[in-house]
């Protein structure tokens, strides 16, 4: 039924979860976390390509 690799589905779900959790915990923004957020959002957009290149 699914043509997506399991890992890709996990990546998409964790991205969505992350964004929901971030909205709740917005008050603890640091510079490091801002960088991490940019990195994670890139992963969400390029999730499949990222995971195929770098694995997990």
Q: What is the pLDDT of residues 10-56, one digit of tens each?
A: 777 777 777 666 666 555 556 666 676 666 666 566 666 665 676 54
* Full-model pTM: 0.30
Residue partners of 9: CB distance under 8 A and separation at least 6: 2
Question: Could you give the CA distance from residue 42 to residue 44 in angstroms, rounded to a whole number?
Answer: 5
Contact 50, 7 (CB under 8 A): no
Question: Could you give the CA distance from residue 44 to residue 38 in angstroms, rounded to a whole number?
Answer: 10
């Amino acid at each position: 039924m699914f043509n997506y690799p399991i890992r890709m589905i996990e990546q998409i779900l964790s991205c969505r979860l992350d964004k929901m959790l971030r909205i709740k915990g917005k008050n603890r923004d640091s510079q490091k976390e801002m960088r991490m957020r940019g990195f994670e959002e890139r992963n969400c957009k390029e999730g499949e390509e990222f995971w195929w290149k770098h694995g997990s």
